[in-house]
């Protein structure tokens, strides 16, 4: 199921700079979450496995089953919302896994996604939003007037946006050292711009639900796009500095405003 991926020269250069010990694998089958048996197959490739686990009291009673399993002791790699490329530190060396769904995607975009994973690994951010929110996930759940799956989607989006506040500074500096990857980053942002500019109207008209809107807005943060209210409040140094506490306050104010 797993095979070492040949990296393009630009991606190899980014790995050397940000994450020289990381191994990149292609996955023969697509997945959202690798089941424990397949995840443990990685033990044949890596030097060691060390499953992550989190306290069960960080989760609301109605948390999605996959999230509860992720918090447990089984080796769980990849979760809904992780996209086409996923990385993990639950192995030694760390891994970047390229899912089968990337087949047919433009090569420069796939290269950017892999390079982005190297930058995120170098930032030292948690592997999943549960490691970011910790017990504040309960407060986020209480602040949102959403079902458990939509709350999960909002949490994943908010975490993605917080990471984007850190990584976009790196991407913006790639004009000289990694110009092909810079162009791919900029192109991805250009493709989002029109969708983001009309986001508030789409939510108000019921054309886009709140969870999907949050996901789109937070994806745009990594590209430095101008966001409409209420998402513009997430594109701030305060969010980067205060992380989960800020996200919970933003959710409380946003849902209070929506209720009015």
Domain boundaries along the sequence of the chain: 2-259
pLDDT by residue for the chain (260 residues), tens digit each? 899 999 999 999 999 999 999 999 999 989 999 877 788 889 889 999 999 999 999 999 999 999 999 999 888 999 998 999 999 999 999 999 999 999 999 999 999 999 999 999 999 999 999 999 999 999 999 999 899 999 999 999 999 999 999 999 999 999 999 999 999 999 999 999 989 988 888 887 888 899 999 999 999 999 999 999 999 999 999 999 999 999 999 999 999 988 76
Contact 122, 19 (CB under 8 A): yes
Query: Phi then psi for 21, rounded to 5 degrees?
Result: -90, 0
Determine the pLDDT at residue 149: 96
Query: Phi then psi for 202, rounded to 5 degrees?
Result: -65, -40
Nearest to 243 by CA among 123, 163, 138: 163
Q: Full-prediction pTM beyond 0.85?
A: yes
Determine the pLDDT at residue 242: 97
Contact 221, 165 (CB under 8 A): yes
In DSSP notation, the chain reads -EEEPPPPHHHHHHHHHH-TT-EEEEESS--SSB-HHHHHGGGGTSSEE------GGGS-TT--HHHHHHHSSS--B--TT--SEEEESSEES-EEEE-GGGTTS-HHHHHHHHHHHHHHHHHT--SSHHHHHTTHHHHHHHH--S-HHHHHHHHHHHHHHHHHHHHHHHHHTHHHHSHHHHHHHHHHHHHHHHHHHTHHHHHHTTSS-HHHHHHHHHHHHTTT----TTGGGGSSHHHHHHHHHHHHHHHHHHHHHHH-
Determine the pLDDT at residue 198: 86
* Alpha-carbon gap, residue 71 to 194, rounded angstroms: 37
């Amino acid at each position: 199921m797993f095979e070492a991926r040949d990296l393009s020269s630009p991606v190899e250069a980014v790995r050397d700079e940000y994450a020289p010990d990381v191994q990149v694998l292609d996955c023969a089958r697509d997945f959202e979450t690798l089941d424990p048996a397949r995840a443990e197959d990685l033990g044949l490739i890596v030097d060691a496995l060390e499953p992550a686990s989190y306290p069960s009291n960080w989760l609301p009673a109605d948390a999605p089953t996959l999230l509860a399993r992720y918090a447990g002791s089984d080796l769980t790699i990849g979760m809904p919302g992780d996209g086409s490329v996923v990385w993990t530190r639950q192995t030694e060396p760390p891994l970047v896994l390229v899912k089968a769904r990337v087949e047919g995607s433009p090569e420069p975009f796939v290269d950017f996604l892999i390079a982005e994973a190297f930058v995120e690994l170098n930032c030292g951010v948690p592997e999943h939003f549960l490691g970011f929110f910790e017990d504040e996930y309960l407060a986020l759940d209480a602040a949102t007037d959403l079902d458990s799956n939509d709350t999960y989607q909002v949490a994943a989006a908010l975490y993605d946006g917080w990471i984007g506040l850190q990584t976009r500074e790196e991407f913006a500096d790639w004009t000289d050292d990694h110009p092909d990857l810079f162009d791919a980053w900029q192109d991805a942002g250009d493709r989002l711009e029109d969708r983001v500019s009309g986001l508030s109207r789409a939510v108000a008209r019921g054309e886009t639900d709140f969870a999907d809107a949050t996901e789109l807005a937070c994806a745009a943060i990594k590209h430095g796009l101008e966001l409409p209210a209420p998402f513009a409040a997430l594109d701030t140094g305060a969010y980067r500095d205060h992380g989960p506490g800020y996200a919970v306050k933003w959710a409380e104010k946003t849902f209070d405003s929506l209720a009015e």
